[in-house]
Amino acid sequence: MYKDKIVLCGASAYEHKYYFNEDFSALPQSVQDELHIMCVLYTEEIGGVLTLEFDEDGSLEFKTEALESDAMYDDIGSVLRIKQIRADKQELLESLELYYRVFFLGEDVEETLNEGEE
């Protein structure tokens, strides 16, 4: 069903906009709100554009980009902030990956959970 990278959500400091993929509207509103806050705070602090994308294996990736003319974009701060988000939101991010793998890639939930225990 999904073979390419699928964007979950993203935010742009340039357009002051947040995007949420409606294919994920079944996620609880509290999760959607947390993603919204996380993305917007990142772009307000660091600048540029942040997107959260699932790769073909179901891993959630943080993608960042900035305009070459954006002198305010903080490359080093970006890497550090993403590491901090991954540490602070580890449980949420792992749950999102499981959700994607089961409901979008069609993996068996038991096999997927047992795979993580090995």
Token digits for 62? 């943080």
* pLDDT reading at 112 higher than 60: yes
Token digits for 21? 């993929």
* pLDDT reading at 1 higher than 50: no
Give the model's pLDDT for residue 60. Answer: 97
Give the model's pLDDT for residue 115. Answer: 73
Q: Is 17 left (phi over 0), alpha (psi -120 to 50) or beta?
A: beta
Angle at 103 between CA 85 and CA 81, to 5 degrees: 10
Per residue in 39-74, pLDDT (tens digit) is: 999 999 999 999 999 999 999 999 999 999 988 898
Q: CA-CA distance, 78 to 11, in Å (whole number)? A: 14
